[in-house]
Amino acid sequence: MASTPLSSDSKHGGHSHVQPVWLLLGNMLWLMVLLIITWWASTFDFGNVVINNVVAMLIATIKAVFVIWIFMGVMHASKLAKIWVVAGFGFLFLMFGILGDYATRQFEPVSGWETNVPNGGASSFPRQWPPQKKPEQVGENFRPRG
Amino acid sequence: MAAIASDHGHGHGHDEALHHQFENMEQQNDSYIVGMWTFLVTEVMFFGALFLIYTLYRSMYQMDFFLAHEALNVQMGMINTFVLLFSSFTVAMSVRYAQLQKRGGVLAMLGITQVCALAFMVVKYFEYQEKFGHHLYPGPGFGSHPEYLHGATPNFAQLYFGLYFGMTGLHGLHVVIGMIVIGYLMAKWWRNSPMVTKDYIPTELVGLYWHFVDLVWIFLFPLMYLMPKP
């Protein structure tokens, strides 16, 4: 059982880098200092709400990087693991690009498109199946289908 | 790749923990780590979608979210953050002891982690209990005691508490799953199972999961508890 130590090859090869206690302990203490800074920053006004939010998220991101880099051992991981970690958070960043769509939605409904189209302009596809017969719509551009 | 081929048969191949489909321990360990990170990336996207919803609605109803968030107890959130950060340290220590094959150290560190996880859930229980007592859970009875809404519009406050319970609840579920997995890992170490004693990777992978749970909380805490006044 455990009395036979792992071969030296497997102990030092790959990802089995043994992290020193001072690094792990120091990282924890540093994260706790950052936590206190997080709380302090939340009580402090940096100028406006946008900057206050950016500061809060910046501190949280710094904490996250220290957890990932040291506690999760990405520091000593292979290049493949590193690139996969970065790509993973890259996907998250891309997903937040959806907010760009919401930010530009004020243009809808475009004037002239709210009425005079079947289904009230909401969608050209019926949401109910089987499609409900719509009440007769009257409008200058309305053209009955079929 | 030439180095891998020449390594084969020079001791690596005789490692008890090495499975036949891998060239050497380095390749095997790398496969496990990348595989675990693949799972964690799906988890990042899973929670990421919720953070996206949160960002969208908070930007739409900034003042109501701010007023509603005043119902949360910052002290309890701080205590839980300290507890999770400390448990991340003990898990990292357990991985270190697993690499050094110190069974007592692994069991002690995982045991402390379990105590931290339990403490986190107990604090969460008291927080949830208070919110339920104040009728702040989304549903027909929401806001029936308006004094706890701190002046927020009930519908938008309900949106905030829907996200609060949804996100912290899902995070809490991850903590509970972590406790089960760490318990299983401890049982393996307790019985001297070669699965964990000959190979540090199972302990490492459980550790990665636990750090991820910590990571989610690092963002949840400032977003839910420490909103700046709009």
Residue with tokens 């500061």: A55
Rounded Cα gap, residues A144 and A132, in angstroms = 15
Residues 138-167 of B with CB under 8 A from A: none
What percent of chain A stands above pLDDT 90? 51
Residues B34-38 have a mean pLDDT of 96
Q: How many CB pairs under 8 A join A and B?
A: 171
Determine, yes or no, domain membership for B42. Answer: no
Domain count, chain A: 1
| Whole-angstrom distance, CA of residue A68 vs CA of residue A74 | 6
The total number of structural domains that make up chain B: 1
State which residues form the domain around A24. 20-107
Q: Give the ipTM.
A: 0.89
Check which CATH number belongs to the domain holding B129 and give it. 1.20.120.80
All residues of chain A having their beta carbon less than 8 Å from the beta carbon of residue B213 are none
Question: Does residue B146 fall inside a structural domain?
Answer: yes
B75, B83, B85, B223, best to mutate vs chain A, most A CBs in 10 Å: B85
In-domain check, residue A123? no
Contact B194, B86 (CB under 8 A): no
What are the distances in angstroms from CA B147 to CA A76, B94, B129?
Answer: 52, 47, 17
Q: Which domain holds residue B126?
A: 48-225
Task: Give domain status of residue A80, yes or no.
Answer: yes
Side chain identity at residue B200, one-letter code = Y
What confidence category does residue A15 fall into, taking pLDDT thresholds of 50, 70 and 90? very low
What is the tens place of the pLDDT at every residue in B60-87? 889 999 999 999 999 999 999 999 999 9
Q: Would B5 be classed as within a structural domain?
A: no
Say yes or no to pLDDT of A5 above 70. Answer: no
Confidence of residue B117 (pLDDT cuts 50, 70, 90): very high
Share the mean pLDDT of chain B.
Answer: 91
Report pLDDT for A138. Answer: 53
Average pLDDT, stretch B140-154? 87
Q: Which residues of B touch A85 (CB under 8 A)?
A: 37, 41
Could you tell me if residue A26 is inside a domain? yes
- The 10s digit of each residue's pLDDT in B171-221 is 999 999 999 999 999 999 999 999 999 999 999 999 999 999 999 999 999
pLDDT of B111 over the 70 cut: yes
Q: Specify if B94 maps to a domain.
A: yes
Q: Which residue of chain B is at minimal alpha-carbon distance from A100?
A: B56
Residue A65: inside a domain: yes
Q: How far apart are alpha carbons B208 and B215 in whole angstroms?
A: 10
Structure tokens at B143: 């806001």
